[in-house]
Amino acid sequence: MGYFRGFAVTFRKMFEKRVTTSYPADKRPKPARLHGRHVLNRYEDGMEKCIGCELCAGVCPARCIYVRGADNPPDEPVSPGERYGFVYEINYLRCIHCDLCVEACPTEAITESKLFEFSFTNRSDAVYTKDELVVDASTGQPRHLPWEDWRPGDDEMTSGWMRATSPSGDASYSGQVSWSGELGHGVRAPEVGQLDLGADTDPEGPVGT
Amino acid sequence: MTAVDTVVLAVDPLLSGDLDPRIVGIVLLKVVVAFTLLLVSVMLMIWFERKLVADMHNRIGPAVAGPFGILQTLADGIKLFFKEDLIPDRSDRVIFKLAPYLSLVPAFLVFAIVPIGGDFSSGDGVVTWFGERTYLQVADPPVGVLFFLALSSIAVYGVMLAGWSSGSKYPLLGSVRASAQMISYEAALGLAIATVFLTSGSLSTHDIVASQVAGNWNVLATGVVPFLVFLVAGTAELNRPPFDLVEAEQELVGGFHTEYSSLRFALFFLAEFMNVITMSAIAVTLFLGGPAGPILTDTLGWVWPVFWFSLKVFAFLFCFVWLRATLPRLRYDQLMDLGWKVLIPVAMGWFLLIGAMGVADNRGWPVVPVVLVGIAVMAGGAALLIGAVSKARAERLADAFPEHDDAPTPGGLR
């Protein structure tokens, strides 16, 4: 009768909870470190973090980043250092969201938001320019472009905080801030619950705010 | 005038008198109502199937078009209507165009002989419309169920010619499977129905329902063995899972209708689901008393038979979907084994047993010894069959694996 046991299974399933999310209407919460479209961050004083070093362009496996650096104008510097990103373009028809650019960036200038629901009606729209990528000069929030479907929380946690796989995200640095502050948010607090699984685990539990 | 005295049921009382325009109007009305009912119920059936299978998979199913996605079928139909109509270069164009209608028309016609209402439990199944007494079915030919068998054979041609005329290999494989499967299961189906004729003494669907109501639905004679054989053979006849080798998406890319698109594909789809409904309706008519059931209220009393009929059909539809959600597809040899070595012998044996009981009853012989002798003879026959089959298989295996003692035991149902 094993052949017929399946009927009970399928009958029982009718009364169970559905696993489907009705996607455009409901959305599942996104993971904190989801790789979405990039943002270019600013320091708390409004200066751009990008120094135009082109390391991101060099490391990009999809060759989707185009950067040209330029010397900072002495009377009106764009970034704190000697150079700044004069041209910065990312082609989202090529980007694979691997985040190697974020890993490579020495100043945490380029990081990723959680936005991935965006579409274009022509190819040139897919190439994001620096104006579109850099965060707003007054609020520090990513720009919400008309063809992007931003959801609450997508533009949170876009700083160096999200570099989980970089040395500063190492579990043995749990609770230690190793990223710079940014415009609009200040210095982000470390994540709660990133446990050190070593022998000297703090019995009080994970450190954090 | 009591119900029993007036059982002259072979002909619809509507057609016994002279033909006048009002009677023609009533017949036309019945045709239109049956046609519309069938189309709407097909639409709802496709929605219901998708929704129920989704429930059984913990999914949601169609949910966007209309409330609860109930208009999904309509949307799909409109979409198919506007798609490009492709005819492959290597196809036989005339037959390629003809085949969908060969499956669709029989599906429509079968429903004509199904009584969908009429008070059978206290009356004689006759309703009064516009002052005329009539059956609640489009037609009640004296050959009733043979008409069903004939049309379901024609439907096989639709599937077979569709696959053959496509000029492509997967449809051809599908149609070869279809003809073999449908012809073998038609035999079991016919033998199961033959027991019904034998018990009710008539081929007319109206009389069959009336005899079931008079005889407690004939549960002993037809309600168990022929009913189960009919269910299995009917599922195979409909090419429904677990017998959907004809379409077998994973193996044959849709089988006979691989090359069809647009409206012609929609017609096949329509015919397939219409067949599910008509097969359920026929099963209800032949085995479950059709529209018979208690009349619970005096006002609107004619609604109750229609309600009971719909309820019974609905139970069948649920079971068809349940089968689809549960059972994996049979292998081809298992399918043929089940048809030829199980269903046909069982249906045939039961038919002969019931026949022997009828003869014994007529001649005044004692029934019990006749039944015992009949069972003994059949058990002997079954033993011979099983012995022959297993011997033949052992020899085949010995031929195929001469040097191995541990030859693989073949799977299958027996």
pLDDT in tens, B156-213: 888 888 888 888 888 888 888 888 888 888 888 888 888 888 888 888 888 888 888 8
The residue assigned the tokens 């943002």 is A39
Q: Residue type for A97, please?
A: H
| Min Cα separation B320/chain A (Å) | 12
pLDDT of residue A164: 54
B326 and A7 within 8 Å at the Cβ level: the answer is: yes
Cα–Cα separations (whole angstroms), residue B48 to A8, A47, B78, B160, B268: 20, 61, 19, 28, 18
Residue A2: count of CB within 10 angstroms of its CB: 5
Best A14, A15, A16, A26 member to test B by mutation, with max B CBs in 10 Å, is: A14
Cα angle value B48/B52/B55 (rounded, 5°): 145
pLDDT of residue B199: 84
pLDDT of residue A201: 45
pLDDT of residue A139: 86
**Residues 320-359 in B contacting A (C-alpha not used; CB under 8 Å):** 322, 325-327
**Residues 31-70 in B contacting A (C-alpha not used; CB under 8 Å):** 52, 55-60, 63
Instruction: Among B58, B63, B326, select the one facing A6 at the smallest CB separation.
Output: B326
> Is residue A185 situated within a structural domain?
no
Dihedral angle, C-alpha B227, B230, B236, B237, nearest 10 °: -150
B58 and A11 within 8 Å at the Cβ level: the answer is: no
Q: What is the DSSP letter of A173?
A: G
* Nearest residue in A to B318, CA atom: A11
Please check whether residue A90 is in contact with residue A133, taking contact to mean a CB–CB distance below 8 angstroms: yes
Longest CA pairwise span in chain A (Å): 86
Cα gap B242→B320, rounded to integer Å = 10
**C-alpha distance across the termini of chain B, in Å:** 56
Domain count, chain A: 1
pLDDT in tens, chain B (414 residues): 344 444 444 467 777 767 788 888 888 888 898 889 888 999 899 999 999 999 898 888 888 888 888 898 889 889 988 988 888 888 888 998 888 988 889 888 888 888 887 777 776 777 777 777 777 787 888 888 888 888 888 888 888 888 888 888 888 888 888 888 888 888 888 888 888 888 888 888 888 888 888 777 777 777 788 889 999 998 988 888 888 877 777 777 777 888 888 888 888 888 889 989 999 999 988 888 878 777 777 777 678 888 888 899 999 999 999 988 888 888 888 888 888 888 888 888 888 888 888 888 888 888 888 888 888 988 998 899 889 988 888 888 888 777 665 555 555 444
Which residues in chain A have their CB less than 8 angstroms from residue B331's CB?
Answer: none
With 0-12 CB in 10 A as exposed, 13-18 as middle and 19+ as buried, what is A10?
buried
Please check whether residue A97 is in contact with residue A118, taking contact to mean a CB–CB distance below 8 angstroms: no
* Nearest residue in B to A5, CA atom: B326
With 0-12 CB in 10 A as exposed, 13-18 as middle and 19+ as buried, what is B298?
exposed
pLDDT of residue B6: 43
Please check whether residue A109 is in contact with residue A40, taking contact to mean a CB–CB distance below 8 angstroms: yes
> Is residue A205 situated within a structural domain?
no
- Which residues constitute the domain of residue A147? 35-170
Q: What is the DSSP letter of A186?
A: B
Residue B304: count of CB within 10 angstroms of its CB: 18
Grouping H, G, I as helix, E, B as strand and the rest as coil, residue B6 is coil
pLDDT of residue A203: 46
Instruction: Encode burial over B128-148: b for 16+ CB neighbours within 10 A, e otherwise.
Output: eeeebebbbbbbbbeebbebb
The residue assigned the tokens 């190439």 is A127
Q: Is the pTM here over 0.80, yes or no?
A: no
Per the rule left: phi > 0, alpha: psi between -120 and 50, beta: everything else, A48 is beta
> Is residue A24 situated within a structural domain?
no
Please check whether residue B186 is in contact with residue B149, taking contact to mean a CB–CB distance below 8 angstroms: yes
Phi and psi of A186, rounded to 5°?
70, -150
Residue in A144, A133, A4, A125 with CA at minimum distance from that of residue A56: A133
* DSSP run (H or E) holding B161: helix B144-165
> Is residue A51 situated within a structural domain?
yes
> Is residue A197 situated within a structural domain?
no
A6 and B59 within 8 Å at the Cβ level: the answer is: no
CATH number at residue A46: 3.30.70.3270
Give the per-residue SS3 of B103-120. Answer: HHHHHHHHHHHCCCCCCC
Q: What is the value of ipTM here, to two decimals?
A: 0.71
pLDDT of residue B2: 40
A14 and B326 within 8 Å at the Cβ level: the answer is: no
B60 and A18 within 8 Å at the Cβ level: the answer is: yes
pLDDT in tens, chain A (209 residues): 677 788 888 888 888 888 888 888 888 888 878 888 899 999 888 889 999 999 999 999 999 999 999 999 988 888 888 899 999 999 999 999 988 898 888 888 898 888 888 888 888 888 999 999 999 888 888 888 888 888 887 888 777 777 654 455 555 666 677 778 888 888 887 766 555 444 444 444 444 43
> Is residue A89 situated within a structural domain?
yes
Please check whether residue A208 is in contact with residue A191, taking contact to mean a CB–CB distance below 8 angstroms: yes
B56 and A17 within 8 Å at the Cβ level: the answer is: no
A25 touches chain B (CB under 8 A): no
Please check whether residue B186 is in contact with residue B229, taking contact to mean a CB–CB distance below 8 angstroms: no
Which residues in chain B have their CB less than 8 angstroms from residue A23's CB?
Answer: none
A23 touches chain B (CB under 8 A): no
> Is residue A103 situated within a structural domain?
yes
Cα gap B221→B351, rounded to integer Å = 9
| Min Cα separation B71/chain A (Å) | 18
Which residues in chain A have their CB less than 8 angstroms from residue B57's CB?
Answer: 13
